[in-house]
Amino acid sequence: MKSIFKDRTLIITGIGRSGSTILSKLVGSMKPAFILFEPALMKFIASFQSSSIFTRILFEDYFLNLVHGRGNMNFSDWSCMMNYETIEEIFERQNKLRRRSDAIRYINLMKPWWVIKSLEFAHLMALAHAHFENVNYIHIVRDGLQVVRSSLERGWYTDEFCNTDIVEQTYWDERVRIPYFIEDPQDRIYWPDWNPATRCACAWRNLILQANRYKARNKGSCLQFRYEDFIKTPKRYADYIGKNYNLTSTPLTLKHIDDISNFDISYQKPVDIEFIEEPEKAKFLSLNRRLGY
């Protein structure tokens, strides 16, 4: 199974509330591509010593279902298959690809991109090379103060959120779990006592620094977009992605471009910087300014 993913894997990542969903809808609707929407398996990639086992599970239990036309048909869900292809295309594969061997022949003919949206994945980007040969990434970045604002509105990074809703592996603390992507031991010491805004700011900073380090070491394999630029000119980015990965826009892609273009981007007041505690505040502001915000 590892050879199926060679040169054909594209992972879309970023911190939550950074625009990864609308970017994934656009990319996933292009052809030829199949997209997985935040499979939990990706969070535990470090637990697999065998690349062949990991890629076999990912293909057989996740992607093969999509190829056969089996997936989420809930229209109210972002991961609904109809966000990425028409019902006619899905039914056609359901009728024609009756067996696994039919699906394999179809894959060998189409040579699709395997697109995976996996948030908070920056600390695992280098590790993924062991499982996906010549893996590619799109990393989306948003103004940190807006990410913190939007995350707080969702109720994220509270003690309850950290202890019950974080999927990835964590460091153990008797009060609150700490995500593995918090790499600085000092940050992990402060984490249990920080408020949700400061925790989110710390997570945003850690993930961007990790993605930037990967990008610097692996030139050409990671595209980085600013959310604010992407939503202003989505067609320009769709054309760029299509050219970079030899993907073709579909009528659904054009619909997503129109939806993004008509999206209300009226000003939303960012979180008050005073909600972010020291010593995180100074580090956070420094990186946010370096990114042009």
Per-domain boundaries in the chain: 2-290
How is residue 252 written in tokens? Answer: 């659904």
Report the C-alpha dihedral over residues 146, 150, 155, 157, rounded to 10 degrees. -40
Tell me the pLDDT tens digit for each residue of 133-153.
999 999 999 999 999 999 999
Write out pLDDT tens, residues 96-139. Answer: 999 999 999 999 999 999 999 999 999 999 999 889 999 999 99
What are the pLDDT digits (tens) for 149-191?
A: 999 999 999 999 999 999 988 998 899 999 999 999 999 999 9
d(CA 162, CA 199): 10
Shortest CA distance to 24 belongs to which of 227, 244, 264?
227
Under the banding of pLDDT at 50, 70 and 90, the label for residue 1 is low
Burial 69-80 (b: 16+ CB within 10 A, else e): bebeeeeeeebe
How many Å apart are CA 63 and CA 52, to the nearest integer?
Answer: 15
**DSSP-assigned beta bridge partners for residue 171:** 178
Q: Which two tokens stand for residue 290?
A: 């370096």
Phi first, then psi: give them for residue 30, nearest 5 degrees.
-80, 160
Specify whether domain 2-290 bears CATH 3.30.70. no
pLDDT of residue 217: 94
